[in-house]
Structure 1
Amino acid sequence: MNCPSSATLSPSDQLQMNVIEKLQVFKIQGRDKHGRKVLRIIGKYFPARSVSNEALNKYLKEKIFPKLEEKPFSIVYVHTDVQRSENFPGISTLRSIYEAIPMNIKESLEAVYFVHPGLQARLFLATFGRLLFTGGLYSKVNYVTRLEFLWDQVRRNEMEIPEFVSDHDEELDYHPMMDYGIESDHPKVYGAPPAMSVYSMRCIA
């Protein structure tokens, strides 16, 4: 008797793939300023609590990776309004996703633009980034604190950004201290607020 293949999806997994497709969590859209295709990922749309690792990996393998055509590409990951209890898939899932990415796709990825990184996200990457993402991926991450700095890297007229992302950008303009936390532990940070010196803090006090 033949055992069913581990790659075979259950009706539930197929339904989950349909949900990912409908929500447009992952979408190849436009190009960056270097002419590379862009894979746009909207973190808030990801149904982390209702999608299995198997369904997610199968979706990426069938719907996304073939469109990248083994050519250089970049990722725009929008972290705006991501909540750990709703949209964050967890460390084990992130590791599973990364390990399931074909080597040729990993090698073709040249930059990751991480839009609206919060303090917790920066701490997470600073702590686990090098452990989770081997092969130099972590060094390709660029924090982007404002959309205006994203447009310095990506062709604006070729990419759709949800309205709530622009709204958050405006909120940051009115509450700039929301940006403060820690600096990136590698130099590629677009739009990062300047670090305050001890002297400047004393002046404020």
Structure 2
Amino acid sequence: MAEDFSVLVLASDLGVDARPFLTRTDEVDEQENWHDCPRYLGDEDFSDLDLLHFFTLQGSDKSGNRIFRVVGKFFPARVVSAERLKKYIFQKISNECPEGPFCLVYMHSTVQKDENSPGITILRWIYEDLPSEIKERLQVVYFVHPGLRSRLVIATLGRLLLTGGLYWKIKYVSRLQYLWEEIKKGEVEVPDFVNNHDNVLEHRPLTDYGIEPDPFHLTEVQSSSFSLNQYENRWVS
């Protein structure tokens, strides 16, 4: 005589996850709790990225938040994958600043979209994949020398793409003198090219917006007009 068996029928349009009914409970729990594992705290060698100094722990701002300085120009976006970038950032935060509030000082000066800009969707992906405890510790992102394109993209698509409160943590800093209102001089190292760019803005404050001439080609905007569709296609890719 055939052994007894049972049949469980699930409607396909109920939006019910059938895995708990079809797999062992302990296997499902292991899959659902994957985000609790320190999956990025491996022994991968990031010495090559450390030599670039694009993501370094420095001093503190006036609110007592530890500073991670991010220099966009130092980041080789063409050769570093998004997955490796995510692992590197997670390890840096976990190993060098394991507790307490921190902030980011992102220096966008002279960043070129094809060479050293990882893209807003990659940054969003990295932020959303961080543990909630690290997200809560991030207090503010000082965005130094934002250009016209950056302001436009964040203003129009920021609330959609930058979720989890990241959009409201961004603070534009158009000149270094305004950064010193938040951070004491000497707490964060400023590269020479950032100071040079700031000096250009002293005499041509609209250079970052593509309105005034940029004889040294220091800004991210090559002309006063550009196609937003080009950047949307890049985000999709």
| TM-score (normalised: structure 2) | 0.67
Aligned partners of 2:70 and 2:104 also within 8 Å: yes
In the alignment, the residues of structure 2 paired with residue 91 and residue 145 of structure 1 have an alpha-carbon distance, to the nearest angstrom, of 19
Do structure 1's residue 176 and structure 2's residue 205 form an aligned pair?
yes
| Structure 2 counterpart of 1:152 | 181
56, 61, 64: which one aligns with 2:90: 61
In the alignment, the residues of structure 2 paired with residue 126 and residue 62 of structure 1 have an alpha-carbon distance, to the nearest angstrom, of 30
Aligned partners of 1:115 and 1:144 also within 8 Å: yes
In the alignment, the residues of structure 2 paired with residue 79 and residue 117 of structure 1 have an alpha-carbon distance, to the nearest angstrom, of 6
131, 149, 158: which one aligns with 1:129: 158
Do structure 1's residue 165 and structure 2's residue 199 form an aligned pair?
no
Q: Deviations over 1:54-76 (max 9, x none)?
A: 21111122223332223111110
Aligned-partner SS, 2:206: helix
**Greater share of residues in helix:** 1
Q: Which consecutive unaligned segments of at least 5 residues does structure 1 have?
A: 1-6, 9-13, 182-205
Q: Deviations over 1:6-28 (max 9, x none)?
A: x69xxxxx57x333211011011
Aligned partners of 2:109 and 2:146 also within 8 Å: yes
Gap change, CA 1:89 and 1:179, over 3 Å in 2: closer
| Structure 1 counterpart of 2:101 | 72
In the alignment, the residues of structure 2 paired with residue 154 and residue 35 of structure 1 have an alpha-carbon distance, to the nearest angstrom, of 10
**Which protein shows a greater Rg?**
2
Aligned-partner SS, 1:157: coil
Identity of aligned residues (%): 50
Segment of structure 1 superposing worse, 102-111 or 92-101? 92-101
| TM-score (normalised: structure 1) | 0.76
Q: What residue identity is the alignment partner of 1:64?
A: I
Q: Which consecutive unaligned segments of at least 5 residues does structure 2 have?
A: 1-38, 211-237
Aligned-partner SS, 1:124: helix
Q: What residue identity is the alignment partner of 1:65?
A: S
In the alignment, the residues of structure 1 paired with residue 173 and residue 194 of structure 2 have an alpha-carbon distance, to the nearest angstrom, of 13
Aligned partners of 1:145 and 1:179 also within 8 Å: no
